[in-house]
Structure 1
Amino acid sequence: MKYLKHKIYGFIFNLFKVFPINKNRITFIVDSGESFKGNLDYIKNEFEKRGNFEFNFFYKDQFSINALKKLATSKYIFLNDNFFPVAFMNFKSETVVTQLWHAPGAFKKFGGSVSDEDAKEMLLKISKNTDYLIVSSKNIVDYYSEAFQISKDKIKPLGLPRADYYFENHNIDELKSKFCSKYGIDLEKKIILYAPTFRDEEKYNNVFNYLNLDEFNESLGDEYILALRLHPKIRNFYSGEISAQEKYVDCSDYKSEQELLLISDILITDYSSIMIEFALLNKPIVFFTYDFDSYLNEERGFYFDFKSTVPGPVVNDSSQLINVIVNSEFDESKMSDFVKTQFDAIDGEASKRVVDYLLKYGGQNE
């Protein structure tokens, strides 16, 4: 039977409805690797300022009766990704279920925007059991409504909690020194972060079939070091045998992606949502889209016209990429316009707004 595992999960959860809600209990639903945990950490920190709350991390890939009981008796429940059993969980009316979502803004189509009818029906069930979906701007509410199959009145454009990180006091020189020491990089070199996304079309995942490292380093190597951060699924499609000291550094294992954004001088990406956070820093972005036609026609597509909207030049091959960087062909006004479409407020107060809202309305739509 379709979704049987999730239905069983939901059935067991529902048995714990006999227990009362603990009004100070907050549970965060994550996987055992604690992926995409940034938003949750910032919400936890904000709640800690407000009172004596009990915090639990519910690991969705580890079955535990005790964890299910705590989940069922939580006043506030937060998700950062999809968790299908939610579709079959009967939450008490006092419980507030909030989806923070891990990806910033709106860029690539996802969820119900690209799913078949069966998947949309599941998303609809999940959304009926979700009180709020937090997004970064009123401009993207329609896209998220479609992606999550959720009513627009449940979508609250309060900001991206983890973006508060960029408004804290960081010693960027110290962060860069730590990074350079870890990878044996000359501290004087500027950092170009290359963060390509994963493609369903396998032949396009080996980025070094399209980026000529010899040409890149010959033109830029005296001033820059290329730092490569791969999507986990891409690692099977490239050879990591090239000497890091001579060609690039593979920083895919670097713990903090946000630190990498702070210390990088330029971002090279393609269709990755990493560019939305990087745009907040008002630093140059180049879009290296060697497979643009294939991605547009065969993969997910976008919520807006890619080439006219992204906050940086779009290039198709190594020569164009190198020339853009050498000649500093960047458009600051385009960056500013883009950020305004993705964020209503850029102030480091997103976590505060989310917690203020939830404490005020307590799960009841105003």
Structure 2
Amino acid sequence: MKYLKHKIYGIIFNLFKIFPLKKNKITFIVDSRESFKGNLDYIKKEFEKRGNFDFNFFYKDKLSIKGFKNLATSKYVFLNDNFFPIAFMNFKGETVVTQLWHAPGAFKKFGGSVADGDTREMLLKISDNVDYLITSSKNIEDYYSEAFQISRNKIKPLGLPRADYYFESHDVDDLKSKFCNRYDIDFNKKIILYAPTFREEEKYNNVFNYLNLDEFNRALGDEYVLALRLHPKIKDFYSGDISTKGKYIDCSDYKSEQELLLISDVLITDYSSIMVEFAILNKPIVFFAYDLDSYLSNERGFYFDFESGVPGPVVSNSNQLIDVIVNEEFDESKMSDFSKTQFDAIDGKASKRVVDFLLKYEG
């Protein structure tokens, strides 16, 4: 039976509604890997400034009596990605369920924008039990309304909480020094971060079939080092064999993606939403879209025209990629304009706005 597991979760959860709600209790829904925690961490830190709150984590891939009880008795519940059992959970009327969503802005289509009818119906049921969906800009509300199948009046463009990281005090030189020591890199070299996304068309996932490392390093190696950060699903397809040894740094296992963005001088990507966050820093981005025609035909598509809408030059082969970086063919005004469409405010106060809103209207 479709969604049976999620319905069982809902039935179990509903049994715990007999316990009274606690107004200072907050529960964050995560998985056991605690992935996508960035927004949640910043919301937690902001609540900690406001008083004595009881914080709990509900691990969605673990059955726990304590977890269900905490979830059922929480005043505030936060999600950062999809959790289908929400569709079958009858929260108390005083409970406030807020979806923060881990991906910044609107780039690749997702959720109800690409799903079949059954999935859209499920998303609608989930959204019925969600009080607020936080986005980064009013300009993208229509996209999120479609993706989550949620009413516009539940969408609040208050910002991306984890983007507050870039406005904190960081010793960037120290962060870079630690990175360079770990990977045995010359500190004086600039870092080009290459972060390709996963393709359903498997043959395009081996990035070194399209990026000529010898030519890249011959042209750029004196000034730059190439740091590769792979999407987890790509690892089965790319060839980091003896022919590429020493020609790039594989930092896929580096814990903090945000630190990497902060210390990198240039980002090379393709269709990854990482570029939306990197654009905040107003540093150069190159889109290495060697399979653009295939991606447009076979993948989920974008919310805007890719070639004209992305905040940087689009290239299709190694030579074009190298030329763009060597000649610094970047348009700062385009990057700035893009950020303004994705973020209403870029000020390091997103977490504050979210918590201010919830305490004012739901506290």
Q: Same fold (TM over 0.5)?
A: yes
Cα offset, 1:242, TM superposition: 4.0
In the alignment, residue 345 of structure 2 is paired with which amino acid? A
List gaps (5 residues or longer) in structure 1.
none
Partner residue, 1:191: 191
Preserved contact between residue 27 and residue 71 of structure 2 (Cα < 8 Å): yes
Matched, 1:117 2:123: no
Match in the other structure for 1:133: 133
Per-residue deviation, 1:245: 6.7
Residues 81-160 of structure 1 mapped to structure 2, 5 A cutoff: 81-160=81-160
Alignment map for 1:141-290 (pairs within 5 Å): 141-242=141-242, 246-290=246-290
Q: CA deviation at 1:246?
A: 2.5
Residue 16 of structure 2: aligned partner:
16
Runs of 5+ unmatched residues, structure 2: none
After superposition, the C-alpha distances for 1:122-160 in whole angstroms (9 at most, x for unaligned) are 000000000000000000000000000000000000000
Q: Which residues in structure 2 correspond to 1:30-109 (within 5 Å)?
A: 30-109=30-109
Q: Which amino acid aligns with 1:13?
A: F
Partner SS for 2:281: coil
For 1:72, the aligned partner's letter is A
For 1:36, what is the secondary structure of its paired residue? Answer: coil
- Give the Cα–Cα distance (whole angstroms) in 2 for the partners of residues 208 and 52 of structure 1: 52
Q: CA deviation at 1:240?
A: 2.2
- How much does 1:16 deviate? 0.7
Residue matched to 1:332: 332
Identical amino acids, percent of aligned pairs: 82
Alpha-carbon shift at residue 65 of structure 1 (Å):
1.1
CA shift for structure 1 position 297: 1.2
**CA distance 1:145–1:261, shift in 2 (3 Å):** same
AA of the residue aligned to 1:165: Y
Aligned partners of 2:295, 2:212: CA distance in 1, in Å?
Answer: 21
Q: Partners of 1:206 and 1:122 in 2: how far apart?
A: 35
* Structure 1 contact 19–73 (Cα < 8 Å) conserved: yes
Return the alpha-carbon distance in structure 2 between the equivalents of residues 94 and 50 of structure 1.
20
Cα contact 1:229–1:251 (8 A) shared by 2: yes
Tell me the distance in 2 between the aligned counterparts of 1:20 and 1:244: 60
- Structure 1 pair 244/203, CA: closer, same or farther in 2 (3 Å)? closer
The alpha carbon displacement at 1:66 in A equals 1.1
Is the partner of 1:280 in helix, strand or coil? helix
Q: Is the 8 A contact 2:213 2:244 kept in 1?
A: no
Given that 1:267 and 1:285 are in contact with CA atoms closer than 8 Å, whether structure 2 keeps it comes out as yes
| Equivalent AA in structure 2 for residue 353 of structure 1 | R
Quote how far apart the aligned CAs of 1:239 are: 2.0
Deviations 1:284-327, CA, capped at 9 Å, x for gaps? 00000001011111101000011111100000000000000000
Runs of 4+ in structure 1 over 6 Å off: none
Q: Aligned partners of 2:279, 2:316: CA distance in 1, in Å? A: 21
Is the 1:185–1:245 Cα contact (8 Å) retained in structure 2? Answer: no
* Per-residue deviation, residues 86-112 of structure 1 (Å, max 9, x unmatched): 000000010000000000000000000
CA contact (8 A) 1:210 1:290 kept: yes
For residues 50-107 of structure 1, the C-alpha deviation after alignment (integer angstroms, 9 at most, x for no partner) is 0000000111011111110110000000000000100000000100000000000000
**SS of equivalent residue, structure 1 residue 130:** coil
Q: Does 1:28 align with 2:32?
A: no
Deviation at 1:244, TM superposition (A): 7.3
Q: What is the one-letter code of the residue matched to 2:269?
A: T
| Counterpart Cα distance in 1 of 2:88 and 2:240 | 44
The answer to whether the 8 A contact 2:108-2:302 is kept is yes
Report the counterpart of residue 357 of structure 2 in structure 1.
Answer: 357
Look up the match of 1:313. Answer: 313
Aligned partners of 2:103 and 2:131: how far apart in 1?
19
Shift of residue 243 of structure 1? Answer: 7.4
Q: Is the 8 A contact 2:196 2:272 kept in 1?
A: yes
Determine if contact 1:244/1:250 at 8 Å carries over to the other structure: no
Partners of 1:181 and 1:56 in 2: how far apart?
36
